[in-house]
A and B are shown apart, each in its own frame.
Chain A
Amino acid sequence: MIEIRDLTKRYGSFTALDHLNLSLEEGVVFGFVGANGAGKSTTFSILATLLSPTSGDAIINGKSVIKEPKEVRKQIGYMPDFFGVYDQLKVDEYLDFYGASYGIGAAERKVLIPQLLELVNLTNKRNEYVDLLSRGMKQRLCLARALIHDPKVLILDEPASGLDPRARVEMRDILRNLKSMGKTILISSHILPELAEMCDEIGVIDNGKLIAHGNVASIQAQLQGEKRIVVKATDCLKEVREFLEEDPLISSIDVMDNRLEIAFNYRGTDDDQVALLKKAILANLPIYALSEEEKDLEDVFMAITKGADNQ
């Protein structure tokens, strides 16, 4: 469905994208992860036919972004990381304008717009002015706009950035819905857990190079190495700490007295973790929760890139 070949983009002496190669099947949800400025938005801009690459090409559903940009535009729905809306325009007029911009007939638009508003839960906002909507609603409206010409591929640049948790969950539900409709979806984010829940494949980009590509679990393991685990106890933190210190797979123990929590780094496998939990329960420790701490990808990134520099 999507074939990126040796894609390179240079701005003067700065290389934003360095011979990027990527191939995606139809119906895949692909998460593009990388620190800010790693090249995610540049890649997406090229795919959205807004930017010409310095060299290389990208083929979307058999059409080249360089040779047939107009054909590519029919295949893709693009949502930029930052976007504005027209004030003085109502929600349904907003969609009507973009529908017309894709050459969809007036009668067809009339049928389509209520369906799209239904899909993104904005039916009751139909007659409101677009600039009065909340950020989450604007984001959903923009997604509806990207879908108006029924594209095969969706390119979403940081769709969840700046959203509150509730809006994030809503956005995720919509994307899950779209996935079930068979769309190929590309999402970028700088937070790995955000993508992990909904992506089939993940690609990690750093300094314009794709440094990893695969399914979610393998990438997460590859990037994180050690897990950070938090245990919660109702009491006896001292005893819990002593118990943990005995395990050779555990390091960097932090006790948070005020919250009755202990966090530590764990090198073991999932099976080791099961054994640890069993042992703790048998030792009669008042532990009521043991969970993996979600790491912000940028922290992991900082560590990885720092390591690469030192070598």
Chain B
Amino acid sequence: MMERFYNPVFVKELKLRFRSFKSFSGLMFYLAVICIFIAGFLLITTEFTGKGFFKPEISFMMFAVLTILQMALILFITPSLTAGAISSEREKQTLNILLTTTQSSTQIIIGKLLSSVAFLVLMLIAGLPLYSLVFLFGGVSPSQLISIFLFYLLTVVAIGSIGVMFSTITKRTIVAMISTYGTIIFLGGITAFFFFLSMAFNQMGNAVGTSTSYMAYFWASINPGALMLTLTSSSMGDALVQVSGVELPVWISYLITYSLIIVICLTIAIKKLRANMKSNR
């Protein structure tokens, strides 16, 4: 039974990943950033005395900013792990040999994706003790933390799929990397810009400003930052409902959009892996 689910590429990738110094340094960098942030935050709120009150509201604010920061770090790190998945094999001239084995294209792509996701999950778990500091001061519920982590996971898989897809369809890792970061800038930055643009456009048309703007809602719903804001504080979600006029919670649209991204990107990657063969299986 174990053999059935055994994915050779997954096992090999994990082995290679944990043997490289890059993974260790990446993990260290990630934890260092979070440490510095938390230490800095605590120092500033206690005015560098190390003493004083730490109110639940402040703890909550730290939680909110930490959540956004962690999302930004994930968005920053994921492409570097996945955008080389296939193209680096091509550059190292190991891909042809891999493609003559009896592994299916699906198996290879999924193995590559899962190994990167596994590393990112490890990263998130490694950061959990730091993250849990917020519980010390209250203001945040565990269920909130769990839902945030599930959405981290969804985002990691989606961005990972985008990286693997670009890695499969482009010849070189550097091109795949740039394309993936480009997509992230679009999802994280340009959508926010479009959101404000469509909001302004909507308000121009209606002096009252209460009409429905599906456009504004759409841009907000695919932005990871916006999602994290609505997840951390429900007032943010209410505000969005008010300005856009769409009742559907952002997380549902986000879930649907990102699931679609995963499915589409992986399908393209699987189809294009053996691009020189007409039948792809």
A residues neighboring B (CB under 8 Å): 45, 48-52, 66-67, 69-70, 73-74, 76, 78, 80, 82-86, 88-89, 93, 97-98, 100-103, 105-106, 142, 145, 149
In the bound complex, what is the Cα–Cα distance between A183 and B3 (angstroms)? 29
B11 to chain A minimum Cβ distance, whole angstroms, is: 7
Main secondary structure of the interface of B (DSSP, over half): loop
Report which B residues bind A (CB closer than 8 A).
3, 6, 8-9, 11-12, 15-16, 19-20, 92-94, 96-104, 274, 276-279, 281
Q: Can you give 9 A-B contacts (C-beta < 8 A)?
A: A49-B99, A70-B102, A74-B102, A78-B96, A78-B100, A83-B97, A84-B93, A93-B15, A98-B8
Q: Residue on B with the closest CB to A73?
A: B102
Q: Are B281 and A69 in contact (CB under 8 A)?
A: yes
- Do B11 and A100 touch across chains, with their CB atoms under 8 A apart? yes
B19 touches A88 (CB 8 A): yes
Contacts of A51 in B (CB 8 A): 276-277
Cβ-defined contact, A102 with B102, below 8 A: yes
Q: Which residue on B lies nearest to A65, using beta carbons?
A: B277
**Which B residues lie within 8 Å of A82 (CB)?**
93
Q: Which B residues are CB-close (under 8 A) to A100?
A: 6, 8, 11
A295 CB, nearest partner CB in chain B, Å: 31
Q: CA A48 – CA B20 in complex, angstroms?
A: 32
Residues of B within 8 A of A74 (CB): 102
Known: A83-B96, A88-B20. A69 touches B12 (CB 8 A): no
Bound CA–CA A98/B8 (angstroms): 8
Contacts of A84 in B (CB 8 A): 92-94
- Partner of A49 from the list B9, B12, B93, B100 (CB cut-off 8 Å) is B100
| Structural contact, B281 and A70, CB atoms closer than 8 A | yes
- Across the interface, A80 reaches (CB within 8 A) one of B96, B103, B279, namely B96
Give the chain A neighbours of B16 by CB distance below 8 A.
86, 88-89
Given A50-B276, A51-B276, A98 contacting B94 (CB threshold 8 A): no
Question: Are A50 and B278 touching (Cβ within 8 A)?
Answer: no
- Is A145 a contact partner of B12 (Cβ separation < 8 A)? no
Residue of A nearest to B104 (CB): A70
Assembly CA distance A160 to B12 (angstroms): 28
Known contacts A89-B12, A89-B15, A89-B16; decide if A101 and B98 are in contact (CB<8 Å). yes
9 additional contacts, CB 8 Å, given A48-B96, A52-B279, A73-B100? A49-B277, A50-B99, A50-B277, A70-B102, A78-B97, A80-B96, A88-B19, A89-B16, A101-B101
| B6: A residues at CB distance < 8 A | 100
A66 vs B101: C-alpha distance when bound (angstroms): 16
Residues of B within 8 Å of A103, CB to CB, are 102
Contact A66 B279 (CB under 8 A): yes
**A67, B104: Cα distance in complex, Å:** 15
Cα distance, A85 to B19, chains bound together (Å):
15
Contact call B92/A98, Cβ cutoff below 8 A = no
Question: Do A101 and B94 touch across chains, with their CB atoms under 8 A apart?
Answer: no
Q: Within the complex, what minimum Cβ distance (angstroms) separates A285 from chain B?
A: 54
